[in-house]
């Protein structure tokens, strides 16, 4: 009989290998979107609404991302009232929490203390909010995101905060050039595991667009 800790480790390893592309038989679902426009420095995408599991974690950007990942991984690996496993998806999304109203999706997070981050797992498209099993851990929230328009800057390479800041600055500058106004906090979307080679990593920064 496999113990709970051993099972969790094996499942986590499969998850990481799948994100690395090491499990060809395991398809990783990503949120669907329509490319509205390709511009110099970013891509404008329209995302249809989907469900997320998210948690809010204090700490540095790196530490909070790791802690949030572990909390959400337990939920999808069966730490829920139905003891149901939920299929893996990509990317893992992280954003700094902001003390603003919860009226816009994802990039506007519930009121939070400074120095905290919201980490999100996208739920498979077959689930509605009502279908998702209730988490055992009160730190896990389930939420339905509405349709939204997002400016996305993709880049490869490592996860250093200096590189992230440089790419975010380039995205904001390109948006200013084109007269686009962002709402909420930037989101950092990462599609690969920490064990993947940096030059093979696929990363994106998302900024939701104000259409008013």
Number of helices and strands (H, E) in the chain? 3, 9
Domain that holds residue 26: 4-210
> How sure is the predictor about 28, in pLDDT bands with cuts at 50, 70 and 90?
confident
146-171: b or e for each residue (b if 16 or more CB lie within 10 Å)? eebbbbbbeeeeebeeeebeebeeeb
**Which residues share a beta bridge with 145?**
50
Q: How many domains does the chain have?
A: 1
Q: What is the pLDDT of residues 36-55, one digit of tens each?
A: 999 999 999 999 999 999 99
Distances (CA, A) of 2 to 5, 7, 76, 192: 8, 6, 18, 27
Question: Which pTM does this prediction carry?
Answer: 0.80
13-49: b or e for each residue (b if 16 or more CB lie within 10 Å)? eebbebbbeebeeeeeeebebeeeeeeeebbbbebee
Query: For residue 60, what pLDDT is reported?
Result: 87
Where residue 140 sits, what CATH number does that domain have? 3.20.80.10
């Amino acid at each position: 009989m496999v113990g709970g800790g051993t099972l969790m480790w094996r499942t986590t390893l499969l998850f990481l290998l799948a994100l690395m592309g090491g499990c060809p038989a395991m398809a990783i679902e990503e949120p669907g979107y329509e490319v509205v426009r390709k511009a110099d420095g970013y891509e404008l995408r329209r995302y249809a609404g989907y469900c997320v599991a998210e948690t809010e974690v204090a700490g540095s950007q790196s530490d909070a991302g790791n802690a949030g990942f572990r909390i959400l991984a337990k939920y999808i690996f069966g730490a829920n009232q139905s003891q149901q496993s939920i299929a893996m998806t990509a990317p893992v999304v992280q954003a700094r929490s902001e003390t603003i109203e919860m009226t816009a999706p994802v990039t506007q997070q519930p009121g939070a203390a400074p120095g905290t981050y919201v980490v999100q797992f996208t739920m498979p498209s077959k689930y509605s909010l009502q279908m998702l099993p209730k988490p055992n851990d009160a730190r896990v929230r389930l939420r339905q995101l509405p349709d939204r328009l997002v400016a996305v800057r993709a880049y490869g390479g490592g996860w250093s905060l200096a590189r992230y800041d440089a790419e975010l600055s380039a995205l904001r500058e390109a948006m200013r050039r084109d007269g686009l106004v962002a709402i909420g906090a930037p989101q950092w979307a990462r599609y690969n595991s920490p064990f993947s080679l940096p030059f093979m990593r696929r990363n994106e920064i998302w900024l939701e667009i104000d259409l008013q």
